[in-house]
Amino acid sequence: MLQLASVSKVYPNGVHALERFSSEIQLGEIIAIIGGSGCGKSTLLRAIAGLDRASAGTVTLDGEAISAPHAKVGIIFQEPRLLPWLTVADNIGFGLSELPTDERRERVACALARVGLADKAKVWPRELSGGQAQRVAIARALVAQPEVLLLDEPFSALDAFTRKDLQDHLLDLWADTRPTLVLVTHDVEEAVVLADRVLVMRPHPGRLFEEITINLSRPRDRNAPLFEQFKRHVLTALDRSLDRTVPDTQGRREPGGGLWW
């Protein structure tokens, strides 16, 4: 279980990026975090990943506080961030250097096949399309078998068709080992198609505004009326979160995180 307890972040330049963000995320849950730009979504994800430390509050995974990158936590960024000097296969195996060569090779081959790029093993990253490169990034993160996979707008640089394809593909991969997914997105449809829960954030300072549970069974039909209804619901919450005249109901309703669980 991933617990976020009053996570706050003030950057050295005084920007209040995140204020008392609390949530509790179960193993295997898919969480979408949505909100206007600059409302602290990346900041939150980087705190969970242990890349930046929170100024206050704690992130705990299975009771263990996270203050530095953790073996059980993987992250995928908006850009694939492949290492250009390694072949696709070596990129995927990058985090497995402690394994014996045979086992690593096997797991890399498996992961490559799983993301449908078995024929690209020996290719350089520059020879991949954007969608393929992001698949490799997903494979690189998943091959380490993380318990929590964080995704920071992973598909936002891709065209609509590739994006849809990768969303379905991500669900497919998720079903293999059912890790916890925390996905930052600014695409309402993406949030509704993937998530069990959508957390809507609002900026200045970044905080939780509303939480929407999407109790639709998978696979989800993007054209179903109920799907449309959830989309509208999230969209309304998003609009309200950006409207300064709407008070912070959700954020205030929860008394200081700690008591919540």
Ligand X SMILES: Nc1ncnc2c1ncn2[C@@H]1O[C@H](COP(=O)(O)OP(=O)(O)O)[C@@H](O)[C@H]1O
Distance in angstroms (rounded) separating the CA atoms of residues 256 and 199: 17
Distance in angstroms (rounded) separating the CA atoms of residues 24 and 91: 32
Site string for another protein, 168-207 (x = CB under 8 A): ----------------------------------------
From 12-20, 125-133, 204-212, 220-228, span contacting another protein (CB under 8 A) = 125-133
Query: Which residues is 60 bridged to in the sheet?
Result: 3, 65
CA distances in angstroms from 43 to 28, 50, 239, listed in the order given: 22, 11, 21
Q: What is the Cα 79 distance to its own chain's centre?
A: 13
Least separation, in Å, of the C-beta of 237 and ligand X? 16
Per CB under 5 A, contacts with Mg ion among 7-46 are 42
CA distances in angstroms from 81 to 37, 133, 195, listed in the order given: 21, 9, 25
Site string for another protein, 104-123 (x = CB under 8 A): x-----------------xx
Six-digit token string for 152: 């920071």
Site string for another protein, 67-106 (x = CB under 8 A): -xxxx--xx-x-x-x-xxxxx--x--xxx-xxx-x--x--
- From 13, 14, 126, 245, residue interacting with another protein (rule: CB under 8 A): 126
134 is an interface residue for Mg ion by CB under 5 A: no
Nearer to another protein among residue 93 and residue 203 (C-beta)? 93
Six-digit token string for 46: 């980087």
Per CB under 6 A, contacts with ligand X among 180-209 are 206
- Tell me which of ligand X, Mg ion, another protein, none is bound by residue 43, counting a contact when its beta carbon lies within the kind-specific cut-off of 5 to 8 angstroms: ligand X
Q: What is the Cα 126 distance to its own chain's centre?
A: 25
Are the C-beta atoms of residues 155 and 163 closer than 8 Å to each other?
yes
Are the C-beta atoms of residues 197 and 31 closer than 8 Å to each other?
yes
SS3 track for 168-201 = HHHHHHHHHHCCEEEEEECCHHHHHHHCCEEEEE
For another protein (CB under 8 A), the number of binding residues is: 32
Q: What are phi and psi of 171, to 5 degrees?
A: -60, -40
Six-digit token string for 173: 């991969």
- Tell me which of another protein, Mg ion, ligand X, none is bound by residue 39, counting a contact when its beta carbon lies within the kind-specific cut-off of 5 to 8 angstroms: ligand X
Least separation, in Å, of the C-beta of 35 and ligand X? 6
Which residues of this chain interact with another protein, rule CB under 8 A? 49, 51, 68-71, 74-75, 77, 79, 81, 83-87, 90, 93-95, 97-99, 101, 104, 122-127, 144
Which residues of this chain interact with ligand X, rule CB under 6 A? 11, 13, 15, 17, 35, 37-43, 206
Which residues of this chain interact with Mg ion, rule CB under 5 A? 42
